[in-house]
């Protein structure tokens, strides 16, 4: 049974905020959203999602005993704290993040549902509606940060969110017209000394007629939050497969194609069917497709993710972890998933030629991957020294601006014809 109050905004919550704002010392509103709740509902049903909410409510009660916990919207909690300043309110918010980021043991699974927390303070002469609006802006900004974040309201939050809203609408229009989205292809080369072309990584690019080139680190997270990532992900996979089949006509040797698979895509129902449909329609050999899964995705419900990855591997694709070293994977998880390859995070590669400790870290990472039977890809290589070091340490494949930046399709085709070395 739930131990907190579910209350509609129309039934008095705004009035309670008005009263709190009017009291001496004002009030802080702490809004708590539960990350990856959809993932739980998709895989364990709504009973699983409700169990997570109950668990979070219990932790909130333990953190702030005696304070009413309200659920103004499904999956969102609100706490009103009177007579505190910004420092005290953020201290409470960070306690919420720390305690609620610990995985929940539910239904035999370990569920990772880190919260995102927004904090706002009442203003002189302000009312409950403004306090709620500001807390919502802060919570939305926190949701866009790293897993498990707390944000104090700043007027800049509103500007960023309005800009993101514009990008989301423009993305929807681009999907409807089929225009503006293109792929770029960054070469993957052998580190055996030949610089032989192994394949490409397919990367989405968006050129909007009014906003110009929108960086992927802006539009990809918005696509994930808005639900557009499924359509975008399918477009990337289909286009990547189509180009690979086309390049077979001019390639001296078979090539591979790497495609990113986000945590949101992996969590969604039907991902296996979408992947198989792309293969069946384009006629590509699935054994030449590498699906790159982020460490964030692997840090989710381990058993559910492992089953999905196993079903994807049954199609014939290779599956590996992208950006290994970003901070979420554990060694035990890597062995559990039976991955085929590992991409070493470019942050580990940068500065490699000037940091002996980093060299040792990369050496151990490569040794781990080799022990687990993985192919090792070093990304972010920018200097000849970095190239020599990762090659000497045993990495199999290199990727980075030393060889080539992400290329438009026509330029990538030149690499295909030349086999890599001559195109460099």
pLDDT in tens, the chain (424 residues): 354 554 444 457 888 899 999 999 899 999 999 998 888 888 888 999 999 999 999 999 998 888 878 888 888 999 999 999 999 999 999 999 999 999 999 888 889 899 999 999 999 888 999 999 999 999 988 988 777 899 999 887 778 888 888 999 999 888 777 778 999 999 999 999 888 999 999 999 999 888 889 999 889 988 988 889 999 999 999 999 999 999 999 998 999 999 999 888 888 888 899 999 999 999 999 999 999 998 777 766 677 788 889 999 999 999 999 988 765 555 566 777 889 999 999 989 988 887 888 899 999 999 999 999 999 999 999 999 999 999 999 999 999 999 999 999 999 999 999 876 544 4
Residue ranges matching CATH 3.30.70.270 in the chain:
5-153
Residue ranges matching CATH 3.20.20.450 in the chain:
166-418
* First vs last C-alpha separation in the chain: 64
The three-point CA angle 314-319-323 to 5° equals 165
Residue 201: phi and psi, rounded to 5, are -105, 130
CA 390 to chain CA mean position, Å: 27
Predicted pLDDT at 301:
65
Burial class from Cβ neighbours inside 10 Å (0-12, 13-18, 19+) for residue 358 reads middle
Largest Cα separation within the chain, whole Å, is 77
Tokens standing for 64?
């702030």
- Report the predicted TM-score, pTM, of the whole model to 2 decimal places: 0.71
Q: Do 291 and 271 touch, CB atoms closer than 8 A?
A: no
Match domain 5-153 to its CATH number in 3.30.70.270, 3.40.50.1820, 3.20.20.80, 1.20.1250.20: 3.30.70.270
Predicted pLDDT at 5:
52
* Distance (Å, whole) CA 296 – CA 278: 25
| DSSP track, 232-279 | HHHHHHHHHHHHHHHHTTT-SS--EEEEEE-HHHHHSTTHHHHHHHHH
Classify domain 166-418 at the CATH class level: alpha beta
Tokens standing for 67?
């304070």
Predicted pLDDT at 330:
55
Instruction: Tell me how crowded residue 369 is: count the other CB atoms within 10 A of its CB.
Output: 25
Predicted pLDDT at 332:
60
């Amino acid at each position: 049974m739930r131990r907190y109050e579910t209350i509609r905004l129309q039934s008095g919550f705004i009035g309670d905020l008005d009263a709190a704002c009017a009291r001496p010392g004002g009030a802080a509103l702490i809004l708590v959203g539960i990350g990856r709740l959809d993932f739980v509902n998709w895989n364990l049903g709504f009973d699983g999602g409700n169990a997570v909410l109950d668990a979070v409510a219990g932790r909130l009660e333990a953190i702030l005993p005696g304070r009413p916990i309200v659920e103004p919207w499904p999956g969102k909690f609100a706490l009103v704290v009177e007579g505190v300043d910004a420092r005290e309110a953020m201290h409470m918010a960070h306690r919420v993040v720390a305690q609620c980021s610990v995985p929940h043991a539910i239904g035999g699974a370990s569920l990772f549902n880190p919260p995102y927390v927004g904090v706002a303070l009442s203003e002189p002469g302000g009312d409950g509606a403004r306090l709620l609006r500001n807390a919502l802006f802060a919570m939305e900004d926190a949701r866009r940060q790293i897993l498990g974040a707390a944000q104090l309201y700043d007027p800049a939050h509103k500007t960023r969110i309005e800009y993101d809203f514009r990008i989301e609408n423009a993305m929807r229009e681009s999907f409807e017209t089929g225009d503006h989205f293109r792929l770029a292809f960054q070469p993957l080369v052998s580190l055996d000394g030949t610089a032989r072309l192994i394949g490409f990584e397919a990367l989405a690019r968006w050129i909007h007629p009014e906003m110009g080139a929108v960086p992927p680190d802006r539009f990809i997270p918005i696509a994930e939050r808005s639900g557009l990532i499924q359509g975008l992900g399918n477009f990337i996979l289909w286009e990547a497969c189509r180009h690979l089949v086309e390049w077979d006509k001019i390639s001296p040797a078979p090539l591979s194609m790497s495609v990113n698979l986000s945590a949101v895509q992996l969590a969604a129902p039907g991902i296996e069917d979408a992947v198989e449909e792309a293969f069946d329609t384009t006629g590509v050999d699935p054994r030449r497709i590498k699906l790159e899964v982020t460490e964030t995705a692997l840090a989710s419900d381990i058993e559910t993710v492992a089953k999905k990855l196993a079903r994807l591997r049954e199609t014939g694709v290779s599956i590996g972890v992208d950006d290994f070293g970003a901070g979420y994977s554990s060694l035990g998880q890597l062995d559990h998933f039976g991955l085929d390859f590992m991409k070493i995070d470019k942050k580990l590669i940068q500065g490699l030629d000037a940091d002996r400790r980093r060299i040792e870290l990369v050496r151990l990472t490569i040794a781990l991957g080799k022990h687990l039977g993985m192919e090792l890809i070093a990304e972010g290589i920018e200097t000849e020294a970095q190239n020599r070091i990762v090659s000497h340490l045993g990495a199999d494949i290199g990727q980075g601006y030393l060889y080539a930046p992400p290329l438009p399709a026509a330029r990538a085709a030149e690499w295909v014809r030349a086999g890599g070395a001559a195109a460099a």
